[in-house]
Structure 1
Amino acid sequence: MAIFEVPDWAVRLRDERKARLWSQKNMAVRLISAADNRTRNGLPSVESVQRYVRGWENGDHRPSDLYASLYCRVFGLTYKALFGEPPKAGELVQARSSAPTLSDAASLMSWLTSTNTSREALDHITETSLRLAENHTQMPASEALHEVTRLHDQAQGLLRSGRQKLRQTRELYKLDADLLAHASVLLGDLNQDRTAMALGKAALMCAQEAATSEAAAWAAMSKTARWQGMYQESAEFARRGFKSSAPSPLRAMLASYEARAAGLLGDVHHAREALARAEAAAEALDEPDTGVSVWSFPRPRQALLTISVTTRIGEPEASLRAVAAADAAWQAGLARSPGTWAQIRVGAGIAYLMRGELDGTMNEVTAMLDLAPEFRMATVTRYLDDLAVRLRQRKFRNSRDATELLAGIEEFNASALLANSQEEA
């Protein structure tokens, strides 16, 4: 007697479900929930769909186009990844000798309503993406990256299924452009610059495909290029993003990125000119900045970029004025980002050191060395590296305070690197 062999697609359906620790009933609930409202109203009960799931996983019969589409949405995978190559067009459409019938029209309408990406799926990705962007400064980078990557996978699964309308395809490209740019920033915070740059470029391509704003992608690439020591490219990326962006906090941020890169190049005139453009762009905003989004540019972040430029071009007094502005904003009730706060404390420490006031440096920097490990991102540790180089100057060589502070910086950075390596494992 022949032994029935379960088809590969049935095994994949079962394995994908089990990998997520879902029961067959839970799978049925998720399939129904993935449908749009109109389609969902026509679906059978959870118990009936659960029986379908059992039959599909046993290989008794293959899911219809509708349920195959819902599976793709739920798993965030393409049709090909789950079910193999789809039937060829010639296998679906037979030659006709007569005009289309009412049945043909009904079939087409059913396909249009059941196989295109649902409004609910797009809204879910959009809303979750916005929430993650808004909570950027309040979440550990590794945790935010995990969530952003999950949403990116969902968007890609829908895009690669090829079962959406043109406008939905453009919307998905726009969503994925934002997600990739956000992921690029997060990877930079985790000291993974090479991957960050690759995702920044991918974000730019998605934005261009969607014919939407490229500003976030240029900002992500500018920041990454700066950390890679590519200061000329960083300035150019920021300038291109500034030119392509509408009035927004991100536009002001891009001008500041250009100023930062110019300062690192030693081009004082260019740095001051770009910094002035950043200040003008920030002052021109009509609505207050939330201060916590990945694309926010509130007063403390403006101050941070000002500090990074002015300490580079030798203006410690301007740096300390920026520190005072940031502290005043927080005292007035603006949400405080742990990473921004830590960097401003280090920037203040550098400014005091430039004035020869090691006591001031000790007071500022010691206050942030207890920062929780999950917030010890690369943007903080690299700033501390700059301070450490300055503390090793000959004039501080015999200072006990400088030696103790260097030891504290080394311990802080080592803890950050350990935390990041454990997250990546």
Structure 2
Amino acid sequence: MTAGDAPAWAVRLRAEREKQLWAVPEMARQLRHAAGGALPDLDSLVRMIKKWEAGKHLPGERYQLLYGRAFGISREHLFGTGAQPAEILAAPLGADEVADFGAWAEATNVGPGTLGYYAGAVNRLAHDYLHQPPDPVRVRAAELTRGVFGLVQNGRQRLDQTRELYGSAAKLCAFTAWACGDLGQMQAADAHARTAMILAEQADLLPVRALAFSVQSKTAFWDKRHTEAAVLARRGYECSPNDTMKVFLACQEADAWQELGDVPRALEALRSVDRARAEIDRDDEVGGLFSCGLARQLNYTMTVRLRAADPAAAIASAEQALEAYRQGEEWAYGTWAQIRVGMAHGYLLLRELEGVNTALAPVLAQPPDLRLATVVTRVAELGRLLAQTRYRDDPLARSLREQIDEYRAGKQAVGRGEGGAGDRVSDA
């Protein structure tokens, strides 16, 4: 085919390139820039451009769009909408063209180092959250999430790499859902929890799916959809591998049933907790926030005992939980606060105000940036119980109510949410 026989679109491609004063290698760089870098190497692109400008075969739809983006001209203007000559459209694929596609298929914008960085970053966030104020950790999670989203949306990876990126994105969304719930921001928590599940299903990784079920259960609980919360926790339990996340999902199910007042089902869920604990045979997928040590497990046991009107057993569970921390289990300020609030509740049911004061005092002394909305709500519930007639004139009860009012007033942004947070015990 001579230059005079080249189709109109081929002539336009060369003319537009020359109008920009671009040599063929520069045209290749412009196409790579338009694609965000996810194209074959420059040498391969140079060969392809020369064949296109010679009219040997029509660029595919993707490259037509990239040409339009590079030149700032519509695809229709560059390539036209009419049928191309049969000998051009029906030309067999050449070896170079097939090789170029193979090079494109191998191209990736991530490597083992990047994938490992994001996986490690998720684990660090989950551990840091147990000890640090929630908002700064959540900001770090947002930055990481944008990075992963950008890699998936704007680049190209091998299928196994894309799956791993989806898994990291699911974990990050799950983390953010949990943090938003603790901050009382339920709309954001729900959006992140749902996205975590979508990504987990795309990644097709059972441990990540179990984690997504956990945050969906928590979000449903906070929205007072307790039956749904129990069902979601059970579904997560059934798909979870034998790690402490499975223990935690059974705890969540027990918590949902006790909130509904269904003590028999809550007790059955606690039996699932014990079975899951006995069957652990692997490390946690993430750990930290998404793990369940003995103290956290006993915190849930305590809430069921309180619902069953067995305050002595609840206090015993709280004491065992605090002892687990003293024995070296990873400490989490949110769970620690709940344990002490639950212990105070047990003493209040026994009408032992000195016990209430001793259990609650360390929680009331927490700095404002560690006062999670969930814990604040549980402390407020104690304040309402202390306002009942039988305690109205008691000096210690009156002092506790005043301290609780001061605690709630000083909660700052950590306790302010979008409303509808419910009264779930926070389990950070």
TM-score category, normalised to shorter length: 0.7 to 0.9
- Equivalent of 1:363 in 343, 358, 363: 358
2:244 aligned with 1:249: yes
TM-aligned CA deviation for residue 386 of structure 1? 2.3
Which residue identity is paired with 1:146?
A: V
1:310 aligns to what?
Answer: 305
* CA–CA separation in structure 2 for the residues paired with 1:221 and 1:128: 22
> Structure 1 residues 341, 71: closer, same or farther in 2, change over 3 A?
farther
Aligned partners of 1:173 and 1:209 also within 8 Å: yes
Of residues 170, 190, 200, the one that matches 2:193 is 200
2:163 aligns with 170
- 4+ residue runs over 6 A deviation: 59-62, 86-91, 287-292
- TM-score normalised by structure 2 residue count: 0.74
The one-letter amino acid of 2:234's match is R
Query: How far, CA to CA, are the matches of 2:412 and 2:148 in structure 1?
Result: 31
1:399 and 1:84 mapped to 2: Cα distance?
79
Q: Does the alignment pair 1:223 with 2:218? A: yes
Which residue in the other structure is 1:135 paired with?
128
CA distance in 2, matches of 1:186, 1:63: 42
Aligned length: 354
Output the TM-score relative to the length of structure 1. 0.75
The whole-number CA distance in structure 1 between the counterparts of 2:354 and 2:170 is: 46
Aligned-CA RMSD value: 3.3
Matched, 1:211 2:195: no
Q: Which residue of 1 aligns with 2:257?
A: 262
C-alpha distance after superposition, 1:332-365 (max 9, x if no partner)? 1222111111111111100111111011000110
In 2, Cα distance between equivalents of 1:334 and 1:71:
46
Match of 1:390 among 385, 399, 404: 385
Larger of the two Rg values belongs to structure? 2
Instruction: Give yes or no for contact 2:368–2:412 (8 Å, CA) kept in 1.
Output: no
- Deviation for aligned residue 1:291: 11
1:417 deviates by 3.6
Q: Give 1:96 shift.
A: 7.6
Q: In 1, distance between residues paired with 2:372 and 2:38?
A: 37
Q: Spell out the pairing of 1:150-165 with structure 2 (5 A cutoff).
A: 150-161=143-154, 163-165=156-158
Residue of structure 2 equivalent to 1:28:
none
Tell me if 1:409 matches 2:383. Answer: no
Post-superposition offset of 1:260: 0.9
**411-420 or 327-336, which moves further after superposition?**
411-420
- 1:168 CA drift (Å): 2.4
2:373·2:415 contact (CA, 8 Å) conserved in 1?
Answer: no
Q: Which of 325, 331, 350 lines up with 1:330 in the alignment?
A: 325
- Cα drift, residue 67 of structure 1: 9.1
Which is further off, 273-282 or 168-177? 168-177
Please state if 1:191 is matched with 2:184. yes
Contact 2:301 2:317 in 1 (8 A): yes
Change (3 A) 1:96 1:298: same
Distance 2:380 2:270 in 1: 24
Q: Which runs of 5+ in 2 are unaligned?
A: 1-25, 40-66, 80-87, 418-428
Distance 1:258 1:361, change over 3 A: same
1:181 aligns with one of 171, 174, 180 = 174
Greater shift, 137-146 or 163-172, is seen at 163-172
Q: Is 2:140 the partner of 1:147?
A: yes
Deviations 1:268-312 (A, max 9, x none): 111111112112212332468899711110111111111122112
